[in-house]
Amino acid sequence: MTNKILMKLTLRFTLILVLLVLILAGSPVLTGVASAVTYNLTADVTTKTMPDGTIITMWGFACTNGTGGCPTTPGVVTVPGPQITVPVGDTTLNINLTNNLPEAVSIVIPGLIQTAGRSPQPFITDTQSRARRTSFADVAATGGGTQSYAWTVKPGTYLYQSGAHPQVQVQMGLYGAVVNDSDPGDAYGSASTIYNSSVPLIFSEIDPVLHAAVAGQGGASYGPGGTMTSTIDYFPKYFLINGTPYSAEKPPVSLGSAGDRVILRFLNAGLRELVPIINGIYMTLVAEDGNFYTNPKTQYSIMLAPGKTVDAMITNPGAGYYPLYERRLGTTNAGATGGGMMLSLQVAGVTQFALNVTTSGSGSGTVESASMPGGINCSSPGATGSCTASYNTGTEIRLVAKPAADSGFLKWTGACTGAGDCVVTMNAIQSVNAVFRLKDRIGIYRDANGSGRWYLDNGTGLFNGCGAFTALDACLIPFGGLAGDIPVVGDWNGSGTSRIGIYRNGAWHLDSGTHVFPVAATVSAFGGVAGDIPVVGDWNGNGTSKIGIYRNGAWYLDDGTNTFPPIATIASFGGEQGDIPVTGDWNGDGITDIGIYRYEARQFSAGGYWYLDNGTHSLASVTPIGPFGGLPQDIPVTGDWSNDKKTDIGIYRVVNNRAWWYLDNGSHIFNALLPVPMGPFGGWMTDKPVTGHWY
């Protein structure tokens, strides 16, 4: 008994001694000074660009400095605001707010006890004599006003947001996440909440009409008497996770490796109830609003009310991609499917391979992922944007090429070929190139005193003078010029760019890109009989232009050997006196077809008729188009004017030394007003029209 008493006294004495040492050392536990972290935030204006190009005015927070540091670039306004991480062991969170917005702003954190800056702001009286608060906490006034706030912190995930005019200010973007863990790698001090990685998932929405009204854009206004009076009229069109709606460039979110434990922190900063779900992964819900569940729940989806936070634990399954989306269909971008609240969660495989995307050609456009998990949105010129991404082995990626307004998509090279969507399986490092070409443009070849001059339009349809396709057109001098030279245009090397050339008595002088004549690439003796007319086309669809001649209705099309006569000879498609051969890809299959332009003196519809081959090479089976053109001086021209990969028709007409280009708009109807002519571009009677996608 005595020994037990002595042991208790010794233990008590030891504890007292330890307490005395802590007091002498100034222990904050005994002095009542809690450990605190401080963040300095600024509320300001920013913008976000949506996948469809719409620019939305937003309000957001920027982190400037503080004891907690800045998790994002200091001073840069983001939506959501920077994540506020309270270090393990700290019990107080301080936020100093500076407000540069046109409305007073405050900050509240539902779920945490606010100890400073928590006074509700003065009442206002509405039109029905009802008293209403303007803010749940002290405000930072407009024009750089400041306010300080403090909260007692406990482990959990919380949403910090504006407490002033919240139905508008939170929608405008004044929100972010607060995270405090019980221990490093342990969210709530439980074996069930130990994790390898943490993934925040902040859901929000954008009503562009509301944003424009609050920002005062386009004459819109918000509030009593405004164009939008309240959020009763709230209709979101964009649905975001972590500040962005899903689009092609959004990469998958990493969950780590198979077997890792991950905490998913769901936060709803929107005004609607949401139901996020993950295909193929069960989640164990361990807390909501920072309150740990005594009995966790395991389920596929979560009921996420506005302003609520839910923490869920998962154990990563095997390597792969797992879609996360909002099952109440917040999965559109302004009504377009394939966007909104969705993303891919990636469990990394042991082996990954890089997909490298580039663009080339005379035109411009983008290459985008058209399938989950996304990650590619590569824009030209210069292949800027998300042009490289790594994927688990065996992942199938589908890419689409989207040409700019002045361009067309020509073909894929590298791991994909052809002109359709590119589907590539990532079983090795893969490289894909998209070739874009400029929309077909007009030009003229002019024999000026034995010097063959080329005037190539820069896209305006008007002659702007000689330059290098900036504000001026391109003038290439000289290339050809002997009497009888006939200009030809083709993509001689498959680059997606048209190059010039001349046909001279059966010899073909094809420009290599230097525009210097004579050239090395000369094809001798392909045609040459009096009356032969040169034609150019991609006869086999491999992306490279070949030569050919039209001789009294017979077509001699080069098979790639430059040997005459070629194997590919088409007999009797045309042949009447005055028939003019034309070529083009009439059906968009990537192979150039033949045709003729013929003047027909019909009783009520005399004019130029177009007989375009339907693949049968039988003139009798073709229904002619027209009349389109028909004056004696009209010269037929062809090109893809609409960028739909199909060749269209048109005529070049000189009137009073001024040349006008009538390019079909798809109606195949011709008069002085429809289609609207381009020009003047050219006009000498000796000028010869040319079309192509220029350098």
Residue 485 lies in a domain: yes
Residue 4 lies in a domain: no
Residue 301 CA neighbour count, 13 Å, CB half: 12
User: Would you state the pLDDT for residue 34?
Assistant: 53
Enumerate the β-bridge partners of residue 663: 650
Residue 418 lies in a domain: yes
The DSSP letter of residue 464 is: -
User: Would you state the pLDDT for residue 28?
Assistant: 33
Are 63 and 73 in contact, with CB atoms under 8 Å apart?
no
Question: Which backbone phi and psi does 193 adopt, to 5 degrees?
Answer: -120, 20
- Examine the domain organization and report whether 158 and 211 are in the same domain: no
- Residue 597, domain extent: 441-692
Q: What is the pLDDT of residues 315-325, one digit of tens each?
A: 999 999 999 99
- Examine the domain organization and report whether 481 and 609 are in the same domain: yes
Q: Which of 373, 371, 175 is nearest to 255 (CA)?
A: 373
Low-confidence ranges of the chain (pLDDT < 70): 1-34, 671-675, 695
Enumerate the β-bridge partners of residue 639: 648
Residue 197 lies in a domain: no
- Examine the domain organization and report whether 676 and 530 are in the same domain: yes
Residue 14 lies in a domain: no
User: Would you state the pLDDT for residue 204?
Assistant: 97
End-to-end CA gap in the chain: 103
Question: Which backbone phi and psi does 30 adopt, to 5 degrees?
Answer: -90, -25
Domain boundary among 348, 370, 402: 348
Residue 603 lies in a domain: yes
| Distance in angstroms (rounded) separating the CA atoms of residues 71 and 84 | 8
The CATH number covering residue 302 comes to 2.60.40.420
User: Would you state the pLDDT for residue 387?
Assistant: 93
**Alpha-carbon distances of 237 from 50, 73, 233, 333, 695, rounded to whole Å:** 10, 29, 13, 6, 41
| The dihedral sign for the CA sequence 146, 150, 151, 156 | positive
Pairing of strands 352-360, 342-348: unpaired
- Examine the domain organization and report whether 409 and 454 are in the same domain: no
Question: Which backbone phi and psi does 447 adopt, to 5 degrees?
Answer: -90, 100
Question: What are the residues whose beta carbons fall under 8 Å from the beta carbon of 119, sequence distance 6 or more?
Answer: 137, 138
- Examine the domain organization and report whether 529 and 558 are in the same domain: yes
User: Would you state the pLDDT for residue 438?
Assistant: 79
Are 240 and 205 in contact, with CB atoms under 8 Å apart?
yes
The DSSP letter of residue 516 is: -
User: Would you state the pLDDT for residue 675?
Assistant: 67
Structure tokens at 93: 């969170």
User: Would you state the pLDDT for residue 402?
Assistant: 92
User: Would you state the pLDDT for residue 131?
Assistant: 74
| Distance in angstroms (rounded) separating the CA atoms of residues 320 and 256 | 11
| Distance in angstroms (rounded) separating the CA atoms of residues 245 and 76 | 20
Beta strands in 207-317 (DSSP E): 238-241, 253-257, 261-268, 276-278, 283-288, 291-299, 309-315
The CATH number covering residue 406 comes to 2.60.40
- Examine the domain organization and report whether 231 and 306 are in the same domain: yes
**Amino acid in position 8:** K
Residue 22 lies in a domain: no
- Examine the domain organization and report whether 271 and 245 are in the same domain: yes
Q: How many domains does the chain have?
A: 4
- Examine the domain organization and report whether 401 and 518 are in the same domain: no
**Amino acid in position 119:** S
- Examine the domain organization and report whether 115 and 248 are in the same domain: no
Domain boundary among 280, 315, 348: 348
Residue 497 lies in a domain: yes
Please tell me whether the overall predicted TM-score, pTM, comes out greater than 0.75 for this model: no
**Alpha-carbon distances of 280 from 300, 372, 417, 493, rounded to whole Å:** 8, 15, 34, 49
- Examine the domain organization and report whether 529 and 651 are in the same domain: yes
- Examine the domain organization and report whether 423 and 460 are in the same domain: no
Pairing of strands 84-86, 175-180: parallel
Place of tokens 């164009």: 227
Question: Which backbone phi and psi does 12 adopt, to 5 degrees?
Answer: -65, -45
Domain boundary among 403, 438, 473: 438
| Distance in angstroms (rounded) separating the CA atoms of residues 568 and 590 | 17
- Examine the domain organization and report whether 113 and 222 are in the same domain: no
User: Would you state the pLDDT for residue 411?
Assistant: 87
